[in-house]
Amino acid sequence: MMLYSVKRAVCALAALTILGACGDEPATFDPDAVVVESGREAKGPARVGVKPSEPGGSILDIFRGGDASVKVNRYLWTASLQVLDFLPIQSADPFTGVISTGYGIPPGGGRAYRATILISDPALDARSLNVALSSQSGPVDADTRRAVEDAILSRARQLRIQAENY
């Protein structure tokens, strides 16, 4: 039984060694392969459109998306974080425009809420903002959700006016 395990380990090691020697180019580290360039971070000519058969392409080009970046309105983003500052942020991705929060109790309130905010457009518009609110007992009233959306939109407009004054 022990001999079988040793033979198996030696065969696996030999197979890995042979596969490792199959490459026709020396292994080099490509720092561009680990850098995420999307949305506002992308500078210069992107390697997104490079086909794997072209020189300079790699297998990682398959996983890079096209120019599919979502632009987010910065005033809506900031206003969402300010209005819902009583909720603990679980994740926030400014490139996709999604903010997910955990449960939190608003000042002067008794119910715990959580929210997911989606900012889908660069325009400062009600259509750009999507708020999903829920409490620990289930979804909340549409009026409550609308009130939160209105508060975020009002704060975003205030932030834009303040920015224009400077």
Cα 159 to Cα 149: distance, rounded to the nearest angstrom: 15
Cα 144 to Cα 115: distance, rounded to the nearest angstrom: 12
Q: Give me the residue spans of the domains in the chain.
A: 2-62, 74-165
Tens-digit pLDDT profile for residues 19-33? 666 655 555 545 554
pTM attached to this predicted model:
0.58
Supply the pLDDT for residue 16.
64
Cα 100 to Cα 83: distance, rounded to the nearest angstrom: 14
Kindly report the number of other CB atoms within 10 A of residue 93's CB atom. 11
For the domain 74-165, what is the CATH code? 3.30.530
Tens-digit pLDDT profile for residues 37-80? 444 444 444 444 444 455 566 676 666 665 555 588 899 999 99
Tens-digit pLDDT profile for residues 151-160? 999 999 999 9
